[in-house]
Structure 1
Amino acid sequence: MTDIEYRLPQRLELRTDLPGPASVALAARRAAVVAAGVSSTAPVFAADADGGVIVDVDGNSLIDLGSGIAVTSVGASDAKVAAAVAAQAAHFTHTCFMITPYEGYVAVAERLVALTPGHHEKRVVLFNSGAEAVENAVKVARLATGRQAVVAFDHAYHGRTNLTMALTAKSMPYKQNFGPFAPEVYRMPMSYPFRDQPGLTGVEAAQRAIGMIEKQIGAQSLAAIVLEPIQGEGGFIVPAPGFLPTLVAWARENGVVFIADEVQTGFARTGNWFASEDEGIVPDLITLAKGIAGGMPLSAVVGRADLLDAVHPGGLGGTYGGNPVACAAALATLDRMAEYDLPGRAAALGARAKQTLTDLAADVPAIGDVRGRGLMLAVEFVGADGITPDAALTKAVAARCLEQGVLVLTCGTYGNVIRLLPPLVIAEETLDEGLAILVDTIRALAGAQAEVSA
């Protein structure tokens, strides 16, 4: 793997309890002015970050196994990205592409056309967030097909806008009391190998969903299927082989637009540039964000030219969509990903990490499943029966890891999954140190739980 130079020491160092006094003081200021509905995983406030570490305002250096929910794949302060941002900001920070266009937007679109799956003619439109990208992909599909219905899946997460809340499966905290939601959204069963009927294949799971679509909606009324190739917030659910190709084939046969939501899986995260490549599928439209621009707000819809060009002039866009500073960051980020071969790095480091977790699972009955690809990995915790979700243990593991300076994230429809999303540039030794603490924590807490149950 390519050697990476870091600005900060890539090690765990705790100088205070967490949170330290400076973070406590900032938390008091926050409580007085920031809405209570905005929550944070960690009780510490960041002062610096680089590679695989975050340094808080008290000087504690934490190992980052979350990368801001799969955003800072090249690190949170990559020198090339920072220089590109500064250089663009020195010229202009905004003109609005819909008013006075600029080369950066075009250059990003060119790169995305070349990188995304398929060799067909494509078009690109840029936005700010993943939810915006998903919402606009659905708009395009509805206009281009003249149909209204949209299918999403169990355990899906697609955003927090009104339409994307309708697409999202989990109620609390994303949808609770925020309705009514956008109409003509239908939910189908996902392929979830750990929780599916034993022996159910990916093809059979897809046929189950297709049968329900044909019965409840009718192919002639369906504009789009929206699906994460690996579900994110729902629990890093990797569908069984054959599930996605079967759905894509049916969609093509019936004029239904297949939208791959790669907001979390995209840009080298799973060991390929995009998770759709893992499955050998070519989406009609693909939605992108998170890892695209090294932490700057940018998202995209990329897909078939005939679909995106069907929209009338002015029908797509937004004041900040494709901001020039964010575009500069994206171009530098994509350069860095290629320079460091981050797809290959994610595959290699991910294989090592997954083996560590798989070996652990063989000794710890509380681990029901270890899954994922590349550096998008998950551990699902269960009760003594081997299937009932154990959200309490999951929460306790994450909290104990944080106490020791390792930031991990939880997810899952049942709140019982630890997800690992380290920066793709994390040092091998830093990843190993973070995993060792996670492994020891799971052993300790799962063992204590077993003793209590006995």
Structure 2
Amino acid sequence: MPHLVTEVPGPRTREVVRRDRSVTSPSLPRAYPFAPRRGCGSVLEDVDGNLFLDFNAGIAVNSTGHAHPRVRRAVQEQAEELLHYSASDFFLPVYGETAQALARVAPMSGPVRVFLTNSGAEAVEGALKLVRHATGRSHVISFHGAFHGRTYGALSLTSSKAKYHTGFGPLVPDVHHVPFADPAKVAAGEPDEATFDALERLFRHDVDPRQVAAVFVEPIQGEGGYIVPGEGWLRRLRDLCDAAGILLVADEVQCGMGRTGRMWAVEHTGVEPDVLISAKGLASGLPLGAFLARAELMESWPAGTHGSTYGGSPLPCAAALATLAVIEEESLLDNAVERGEEVLAGLRELQRRHPDLVVDVRGVGLMIGLQLVSGAAAEALQQACFTRGLLVLEAGEDVVRMSPPLVVTAAEVRTALGVLAEALAEVAGTDAAGPA
């Protein structure tokens, strides 16, 4: 693979697209006309029988690949026993087991408590409620380029695209945004003071830091462009929070669950968050999110202040327990490191071949971004890969992101790099290669 038996998109896919567009909400931002039918590992087959190599894993969701046998078996066994009972009102055993498993791998010292949700956005909403309740403070800080979800609290924290906010105001009040780490400064090894200068101005002119409940941060920014902060950036942020009694919330919806070669991306920094948010890869594709917090924070709110009818439902919990076992027992963290190094090395070679097209190659583990000279070039590369059977996805203004399943093989990496070489050569010969 890839193995294409029809034109892309094929006739059945075009029919799926036609039917879909006649009935679904036009708010859904489809990247390209791809209609998957079934998957295995890093391979997806569309409704026309074309085989694609999946280097976006459902936007970093299918952490153990498509239909991993241990995850599939766990879901099947759970489905034969119990499909649903609300853990919000009763003691669902698999809910407690999943919370215990997550607490065991939490990147915080000391006791940890866990709340399970249906999605990442819902976990962000819960974490936002928790930090305000626990601190008695209302203000929160997020970053330009951040994506935390599209529900109202999460949307208020999100700042990756203006269109996400347009037409939905007023948003949740007392939310402030400051610059994230600058990838150009990181690449050049130069001092990066923009974040801390902006925070100093914010605290001097707009809000007393003693009124700030929390800073929400992606340890590696996802939709904003797969941006990896420079060494020491997150430590400085942690120290600033500690000085003012501000909680640090690590949103690891995209960068967590082994994607960077450690269970949590924040572990690369030596920094402990007060709250950690997870979703996407947590249950290998089933809808499950979570927020983990130091026990004294979670214990600050009494029964009934937060709940969820479906959050932590039996099937996603069974999938999450199997996912954690697969990641740990099948050495997927090591595989993410090794395969990630191969992808980065291959992309840097392609950057040397196309210095006028590729601006930067960055990433950790299997969370890798290829920054191009323009948004038009990134869009063209995404489409050129798709028509060749490689699934990648744009991020930020001009980045193509790669987040393959953690089970991706060395042979699949070589294949993907070959396809990317062909696609980059095509883009280099088009108008899209120039600045927008």
TM-score range, shorter chain: over 0.9
Partner of 1:369: 360
User: Which residue number corresponds to residue 105 of structure 1?
Assistant: 95
The alpha-carbon deviation at position 42 of structure 1 amounts to 3.0
Aligned to 2:218: 228
> Which has the larger displacement, 172-181 or 121-130?
172-181
1:48 matched residue in structure 2 = 38
Q: What is the rounded CA distance, in whole Å, between the counterparts of 1:426 and 1:173 in structure 2?
A: 34
Separation (CA, whole Å) in 1 of partners of 2:187 and 2:407: 38
CA contact (8 A) 1:268 1:342 kept: yes
Identity %: 37
2:196 counterpart letter in structure 1: Q
> Is residue 414 of structure 2 the alignment partner of residue 432 of structure 1?
yes
Q: SS of the residue aligned with 1:194?
A: helix
Letter in 1 for 2:90: T
Q: Deviations over 1:5-49 (max 9, x none)?
A: xxxxxx211010011111122222212211221232231311110
Q: Could you say which residue in structure 2 is the equivalent of 1:393?
A: 377
Give the corresponding residue for 2:200.
211
Stretches of structure 1 lacking an aligned partner (at least 5 in a row): 1-10, 383-389
CA contact (8 A) 1:128 1:322 kept: yes
Q: C-alpha distance in 1, partners of 2:384/2:346?
A: 19
Residues 313 and 167 of structure 1, relative CA distance in 2, 3 Å threshold: same
Deviation at 1:319, TM superposition (A): 0.6
* Pairing partner for 1:91 from 81, 85, 103: 81
Stretch deviating more after TM superposition (17-26 or 297-306): 17-26
1:407 equivalent in alignment to 2:385: no
Distance 1:249 1:274 in 2: 20
The answer on whether the counterparts of 1:80 and 1:336 sit within 8 Å (CA) in structure 2 is: yes
User: What is the CA–CA distance in structure 2 between the aligned matches of 1:377 and 1:430, rounded to whole Å?
Assistant: 15
TM-score by length of 1: 0.92
Task: Identify the residue that residue 424 of structure 2 maps to in structure 1.
Answer: 442
Q: Does the 8 A contact of 1:81 with 1:294 survive in 2?
A: yes
1:82 aligned counterpart, secondary structure:
helix
Q: CA deviation at 1:344?
A: 0.8
CA-based RMSD of the aligned residues comes to 1.8
For residues 35 and 196 of structure 2, what CA distance do their matches in structure 1 show? 48
CA offset digits 1:369-425 (Å, max 9, x no partner)? 11110000001111xxxxxxx11111111111111111110010x2x1000011111
Please state if 1:305 is matched with 2:295. yes
User: Counterparts in 2 of 1:219-258, with a 5 A limit?
Assistant: 219-258=209-248
For this pair of structures, how many residues does the alignment match? 433
Partner residue, 1:385: none
1:211 positional shift: 1.1
**Cross-structure match for 1:422:** 404
Whether 2:50 is the aligned partner of 1:60: answer yes
State the secondary structure of the residue aligned to 2:216.
strand
Which amino acid counterpart does residue 427 of structure 1 have in structure 2?
A: T
| Shift of residue 431, structure 1, vs aligned partner | 2.2
C-alpha displacement of 1:449: 4.3
Asked if 1:360 is matched to 2:350, the reply is yes
Any unmatched runs of 5+ in structure 2? Answer: none
Contact 1:289 1:299 in 2 (8 A): yes
CA contact (8 A) 2:152 2:171 kept: yes
Change (3 A) 1:198 1:421: closer
Give the 3 Å change call, closer, same or farther, for CA 197–356 of structure 1 in structure 2.
closer
Query: What's the CA shift string for 1:67-105, capped at 9, x where partnerless?
Result: 001000101201111111111111111110022222111
- Tell me: CA distance 1:452–1:118, structure 2 relative to 1, closer, same or farther (3 Å): closer
> Partners of 1:25 and 1:451 in 2: how far apart?
32
How big is each residue's C-alpha offset from its partner over 1:193-214, in whole Å with a ceiling of 9 and x where there is no partner?
3168976425x44532431342
- 8 A contact 2:42–2:407 mirrored in 1: yes
Report the AA paired with residue 368 of structure 1.
Answer: V
Q: Secondary structure at the match of 1:369?
A: strand
| SS of aligned partner of 1:49 | strand
Letter in 2 for 1:212: R
TM-score scaled by structure 2?
A: 0.96
> 1:425 and 1:173, CA in 2 relative to 1: closer, same or farther beyond 3 A?
farther
String of CA shifts for 1:229-265, please: whole Å, max 9, x gaps: 0000000011111110011112122211100000000
* Alignment equivalent of 1:378, drawn from 369, 378, 387: 369
Q: 1:195 to 1:298 in 2, by over 3 A?
A: same
The one of 15, 40, 51 equivalent to 1:25 is: 15
Q: CA deviation at 1:277?
A: 0.4
Q: Aligned with 1:273: secondary structure?
A: coil
Contact 2:377 2:433 in 1 (8 A): no
